[in-house]
Chain A
Amino acid sequence: MTPAGFSPRSRSVAVAGALAAGFALLALVGPFIVPHDPLAVDLAQRFEAPNLVHLLGTDHLGRDILSRLIAGARTTLGSVLVVLALVLALGVSVGGLAGMLGGRIDAALMRLCDVFLTVPTFVLALFMIGALGTGLVNVVAAIVLSHWAWYARIVRGLVLESKARDYVLAARIAGAPARAIFAEHVLPGIVPPLAALATLDIGHMALHVAGLSFLGLGVQPPTPEWGVMINDARAFFWTRPLLVVWPGLAIALAVLAFNRLGDALRDRLDPTLVAGRGL
């Protein structure tokens, strides 16, 4: 085994981990450390190149880009966090119920999942925004509604797999109620793969939030958000390309970092690999 930090593989994981932690930290404390007010308009200082006062320059309204990026981390990653929490809660409860109860309930819940799986995120988002209006809440709802079914299916599969274990049979024979069996024997086994999957999905969902906001469906200006920033900068792409580059870079780095981290987690925690080690 290669010592950590020497193989290129583990180094890329370390970099990804550091980046992801950095983004998470920014999202957490961003509003308290921004060098300027991300909403402060100063038309006298519009389109400034990066300098010592505005490290990444200013945008078409003279707002500090670095401050807007830092504040945007909270909007984008915060909404992803909410999405993930809701998706996991829905997925674990529906998938867990289906897997534990089986039979007709299982079949009914899985057909319900199939219905949601047929609707693409963007179509559902367009529908919701058409019906309910634009806004971050609707974007979050659209992403949750189009993603929870994946998790429900995966959780159901994992539950069925652990239900076949001897120790679950032993617990049933000992008279343990299904609730206790789920909490004590099934759930601990499905948390690691779910964590890996959720980490993999952070980047994917951040793209959805930024993408829908870029289209003007999600977060509304002037709220700082990476997708909104790209949309704002679109008009000046030929004259001031850096305005697009900064938020684009933030999105790309966040997606890459969380993907790499999720990959590494999955490699470490994949239930089949664990089984292969003879547990």
Chain B
Amino acid sequence: MSARILRAEGLAVETWRDARRGGEPVPLVRDATLELRAGEVLALVGASGSGKSLACAALLDVLPPGTRRRAGRILLDGAPAEPASLRGRAVACVLQAPRTAFNPLRTIGDHAGETLAAAGLRGRAGRASMERALAAVGLGGDPHLPELYPFQMSGGMLQRAMIALALLTRAPFLIADEPTTDLDLVAQAGILDLLAGLVRERGMGLLIVTHDLGVVARLADRVAVMEEGRVVETNDAASLFAHPAHPATRALLAAHHALYEVPR
């Protein structure tokens, strides 16, 4: 049943509060087309404010208040799909800040129960699949982990737990919006390895939003570059690093080299 290709075509997002008061709506994402294939990592890169996160939010129809999707459609294996129907079924998400993405008043087990209920799985079968998911993200060692509250866990553990929740949905596609930005370097490496492993072993399609080209080089098969709400270049990772075509891509690469490369 697993879908193989998730395609967002011509996504456009704009502000709309101002429009109602007579102002011009400001386009935030213009005509973004992304194609995510199972078993493949697509990196979405671009400067801050280039519309990466909004494009992902539009994909699932979870845009923040004051913005709306103006155009675009979602295709799942070529068939049009409602964005809201993808949530928890075809697409799962890993958010940037693990600390705030968990309800402080509820345990990890409670969160898992909620995800499982949305997926229609309860009772012993749910418990078993939660244990499998936690083991898959490297949290299988502690049998009491589901009873922990978010404040009792480190950021890296929480991010692993969030990936475990994403696995519970059995969604074939995973969107990770800057999943390592809030973590220290060791935890970052661990999370990236984990994500790469999931793609390899389970054949998931991973859309990773990042502005870290180091992450891209390590993980991505293909790269889409966004600038001012447009996808300006899409290429496989090796070609993009070797022959950046668009000025925005070159600027990103230049900035990366300036920051991270030891001058010779």
Q: Tell me if B's interface is mostly helix, strand, loop or mixed.
A: loop
Q: Tell me which of A167, A171, A184 contacts B100 (CB under 8 A).
A: A167
Q: Tell me which of A167, A173, A180, A188 contacts B93 (CB under 8 A).
A: A173
Q: Tell me which of A165, A169, A174 contacts B114 (CB under 8 A).
A: A174
List the B side residues contacting A174 at CB < 8 Å.
Answer: 87-88, 92-93, 114-115, 118, 165, 169
Could you tell me which residues of chain A, from 174 to 197, have a CB within 8 Å of some CB in chain B? 174-177, 180, 184-185, 188-189
B259, CB-defined interface residue at 8 Å: no
The number of inter-chain residue pairs (CB within 8 angstroms) is: 67
Q: How large is the interface on A (under 10, 10 to 19, 20 to 34, 35 or more residues)?
A: 10 to 19
Contact A180 B87 (CB under 8 A): no
Assembled-state Cα–Cα distance A166/B162 (Å):
12
CB A183 to nearest CB in B, in angstroms, measures 10
List the A side residues contacting B169 at CB < 8 Å.
Answer: 174-175
List the B side residues contacting A180 at CB < 8 Å.
Answer: 114, 117-118
Could you tell me which residues of chain B, from 195 to 239, have a CB within 8 Å of some CB in chain A? none
B148, CB-defined interface residue at 8 Å: no
Could you tell me which residues of chain A, from 159 to 174, have a CB within 8 Å of some CB in chain B? 164-167, 169-174
Assembled-state Cα–Cα distance A173/B162 (Å):
12
B102, CB-defined interface residue at 8 Å: yes
A279, CB-defined interface residue at 8 Å: yes
Could you tell me which residues of chain B, from 148 to 163, have a CB within 8 Å of some CB in chain A? 162
Contact A172 B100 (CB under 8 A): no
B106, CB-defined interface residue at 8 Å: yes
List 14 other contacts, CB 8 Å, given A173-B60, A175-B118, A184-B106. Answer: A164-B65, A166-B95, A166-B97, A167-B103, A169-B101, A170-B102, A171-B114, A173-B88, A174-B114, A174-B118, A175-B87, A175-B119, A185-B103, A279-B104
- Ordered by A's residue number, 12 sampled pairs between the chains whose C-beta atoms are within 8 Å are A165-B103, A166-B101, A170-B101, A170-B162, A171-B114, A175-B118, A176-B114, A177-B118, A184-B103, A185-B103, A188-B106, A189-B105
A contacts, CB < 8 Å to B: 164-167, 169-177, 180, 184-185, 188-189, 279
